[in-house]
Amino acid sequence: MLTKVLLILLGLSIILPSRSEGPHVELENGPSAHDAVYEPQPQAAEETQTLGKLSAATHILNSILNNYDYKLRPGIGEKPTVVTVELSVNTLGPISIVDMEYTIDITFCQTWYDERLRYNGSVESFVLNGNLVSQLWIPDTFFRNSKRIQEHVITMPNQMVRIHKDGKVLYTIRMTIDAGCLLHMLKFPMDSHSCPLSFSSFSYPESEIIYKWEDFRLEINEKNSWKLFQFDFTGVTNITETISTPAGDFMVMTLFFNVSRRFGFIAFQNYVPSSVTTMLSWISFWIKKDSAPARTSLGITSVLTMTTLGTFSRKNFPRVSYITALDFYIAICFIFCFCALMEFAVLNFLTYNRTKPHGSPKLRHPNIRARTLMPLPVSAHQYPDAFVCQIEDSDESDGEEGPSCPAQQSLSTGGIQRPGGCCKWCQKYFCVVPKCEGSIWQQGRLFIHIYRLDNYSRVVFPVTFFFFNVLYWLVCLNL
Ligand SMILES: *[C@@H]1O[C@H](CO)[C@@H](O)[C@H](O)[C@H]1NC(C)=O
Ligand SMILES: *[C@@H]1O[C@H](CO)[C@@H](O)[C@H](O)[C@H]1NC(C)=O
Ligand SMILES: *[C@@H]1O[C@H](CO)[C@@H](O)[C@H](O)[C@H]1NC(C)=O
């Protein structure tokens, strides 16, 4: 009886601690329990078969690799190794305009035959992962225009080798390449580029390694989120060329990824503000010429805005020395704004210069005005200031119906004293004064009446701008 009680106590003392440490114990026992669960139920035949296959595979692989010299290319001394290339583009872009480079994420597949890797057996092919790649000979392909290459190593190196029975080897690697791409920005923003990706063997010249496209299998899954943003992908072209270097002639394969710029972004950022600012500067022509502050500030504001827009358009832009199509447009808009401002300056200068020094009340006498309205029989020598009166006159008649230049005011051309020191050039070619003798003046000379300058501008500026736009867009969109 006592022994029974002792045994029970003993049993309890064993069970209780084990219960209290229950989870811990279970955890420790876990793997073994799992093993027990997941271990293949002893189906003897299958197990021996898999074991047989496994050992056979191990045997084949070891026999291949034991006598394998990965330092030598296949077919050395006999024939060049033909490497067939296949490429699939995972991501294209973004294209960095400032650095003139683009990013591309590719899976690069190369296939070649290596007789040393032939084997007999039931296994069709071996797949070796990234760690074993170094035990085989691999073509030393490199990307000629790459700036940075990132290999992907998570979770294992993203590369793979598959060895087929007949010695065919497929080597696949994924990488992200930052490659240089010379961008010709002359037609910016109507530009399109073809960004190359060229590769060749680093050490084996053409006589030792030949590259071939695998039926030009270039997988481009455009539906994927390519990060081209401003650009549209327009196609891909491949070329094969041989380049000579001091180390020999190398076979270079190049792919060109063609992209063209999406126009909308730049249009709204640059063209619309430029055109609107230019049109805004024309408002000046409808403002009275007396209100100098209004017209000057309008003109200066538009000129400054164009300057800002010009600077802004060059932001995030490579520092190319030539002017682009956009620069040209902005420059022309700038000139338009500048001319609008200058138009007022000229108008103001000429009127001011004429009126001020001779603005004595005597000259504004009505009878002189009356006289000028009549066909003047005598030469202007006697009335050197007659045109000043005329200006006053037209001023009073609201500038709209100033005296028409060629018709009525018949005075001889000579002898006009220029009070404001206007250059002889104006005197020669422009009839800025109302003394335009029909016969002499009209011969190959331009009649510009100062008081009509605003009227002229209201037509000339918009029409010129319109034709400039038509011409610009015709040229830009067709080139
Ligand atoms: C594979 O077997 C064939 C005959 O069945 C033989 O001629 C060949 O040499 C074998 N190859 C290797 C690598 O053992
Ligand atoms: C591009 O690759 C294809 C596929 O082999 C080939 O037929 C074609 O000639 C190549 N294009 C150029 C320009 O080499
Ligand atoms: C891509 O651009 C190159 C060079 O500008 C051109 O020769 C080729 O025809 C273009 N390919 C496509 C598909 O547009």
- Whether 214 and 156 share a structural domain: yes
**Count of domains for the chain:** 3
CA distance 296 to 464: 22
- Whether 137 and 243 share a structural domain: yes
**Which of the ligands is closest to the CA of residue 181?**
3
Asked if residue 43 belongs to a domain, the reply is: no
pLDDT at 430: 57
Q: What are phi and psi of 78, to 5 degrees?
A: -105, -60
The mean predicted confidence, pLDDT, of the chain is 77
Q: Is the model more confident about 432 or about 142?
A: 142
- Whether 302 and 430 share a structural domain: no
Residue type for position 23: P
- Structural domain ending residue among the three candidates 246, 261, 276: 261
Confidence of residue 40 (pLDDT cuts 50, 70, 90): low
CA distance 256 to 239: 8
pLDDT at 224: 58
Percent residues over pLDDT 70 in the chain? 67
Residues with Cβ within 8 Å of 27's Cβ and at least 6 positions away in sequence, in order, are none
- Whether 149 and 274 share a structural domain: no
Asked if residue 8 belongs to a domain, the reply is: no
Phi-psi region of 411 (alpha: psi -120 to 50; beta: other; left: phi over 0): beta
- Structural domain ending residue among the three candidates 322, 342, 362: 342
From ligand 2's centre to the CA of 436, what distance in Å? 74
Contact in structure between 327 and 313 (CB atoms under 8 Å): yes
pLDDT at 308: 94
Q: Which two tokens stand for residue 258?
A: 């063609």
CA distance 306 to 309: 5
- Whether 256 and 115 share a structural domain: yes
- Whether 257 and 270 share a structural domain: no
- What is the CA angle 272-277-278, rounded to 5? 100
Q: What torsion do the CA atoms of 466, 264, 102, 232 make, to the nearest 10 degrees?
A: -110
Contact in structure between 155 and 226 (CB atoms under 8 Å): no
Closest CA to 384 of 419, 408, 427, 359: 419
Q: Which two tokens stand for residue 196?
A: 């190359």
Q: pLDDT tens-digit profile of 395-427?
A: 333 433 344 343 333 333 343 444 444 455 555
Contact in structure between 132 and 161 (CB atoms under 8 Å): yes
From ligand 2's centre to the CA of 171, what distance in Å? 22
125 three-class SS: strand
Asked if residue 39 belongs to a domain, the reply is: no
Confidence of residue 333 (pLDDT cuts 50, 70, 90): very high
Asked if residue 163 belongs to a domain, the reply is: yes
Asked if residue 326 belongs to a domain, the reply is: yes
- Whether 213 and 142 share a structural domain: yes
**Which of the ligands is closest to the CA of residue 59?**
1
User: What residues make up the domain containing 308?
Assistant: 265-342
Give how far the C-alpha of residue 100 lies from the chain's centroid of Cα atoms, to the nearest Å.
9
Q: Is the model more confident about 382 or about 44?
A: 44
Counting from 1 in the atom list of ligand 2, the atom nearest the Cα of 213 is: 5
Q: Is the model more confident about 197 or about 313?
A: 197
- Structural domain ending residue among the three candidates 261, 282, 311: 261
Asked if residue 12 belongs to a domain, the reply is: no
CA distance 472 to 315: 23
- Whether 269 and 256 share a structural domain: no
Cβ of 239 less than 6 Å from ligand 2: yes
Average the pLDDT over each of 48-52, 114-118, 262-266, 455-459 and give the range with the smallest value.
48-52
Residue nearest to atom 8 of ligand 1 (CA): 120
Give, for ligand 2, the residue of 212, 238, 242, 252 to mutate: max count of ligand atoms closer than 8 Å to Cβ. Answer: 238
Find where tokens 């093993």 sit: 35
Q: What is the mean pLDDT of residues 182-199?
A: 91
- Whether 253 and 121 share a structural domain: yes
198 three-class SS: strand
CA distance 29 to 328: 79
Beta bridge partners of 169: 112, 163
**Which of the ligands is closest to the CA of residue 115?**
1
N residues, the chain: 479
From ligand 1's centre to the CA of 64, what distance in Å? 13
Beta bridge partners of 260: 192, 232
pLDDT at 287: 92
DSSP 57: H
Q: What crossing angle do the helices spanning 325-355 and 386-396 adopt, rounded to 10°?
A: 110
Asked if residue 189 has pLDDT above 50, the reply is yes
- Whether 279 and 420 share a structural domain: no
Which CATH number fits the domain that encloses residue 329? Answer: 1.20.58.390
Average the pLDDT over each of 60-69, 163-172, 250-259, 371-380 and give the range with the smallest value.
371-380
Give how far the C-alpha of residue 219 lies from the chain's centroid of Cα atoms, to the nearest Å.
24
CA distance 171 to 109: 6
Asked if residue 372 has pLDDT above 50, the reply is no
Q: What is the mean pLDDT of residues 356-361?
A: 47
pLDDT at 378: 42
Asked if residue 241 belongs to a domain, the reply is: yes
CA distance 458 to 90: 56
DSSP 446: B
Hey, how many other C-beta atoms are within 10 angstroms of the C-beta on 49? Answer: 11
Asked if residue 371 belongs to a domain, the reply is: yes
DSSP 156: S
Give, for ligand 3, the residue of 256, 259, 260, 479 to mutate: max count of ligand atoms closer than 8 Å to Cβ. Answer: 256
Q: What is the mean pLDDT of residues 243-250?
A: 93
Which CATH number fits the domain that encloses residue 129? Answer: 2.70.170.10
Q: pLDDT tens-digit profile of 123-155?
A: 888 898 777 888 899 999 999 999 999 999 988
- Whether 231 and 252 share a structural domain: yes
pLDDT at 39: 55
pTM exceeds cut of 0.75: no
pLDDT at 225: 58
Site residues for ligand 1, CB cut-off 6 Å: 118-120
* Strand order, beta sheet including 231-245: 141-143, 192-201, 248-261, 231-245
- Tell how strand 81-96 and strand 209-220 pair up: parallel
- Whether 223 and 241 share a structural domain: yes
Q: pLDDT tens-digit profile of 84-127?
A: 999 888 888 899 988 999 999 999 999 999 998 898 888 888 89
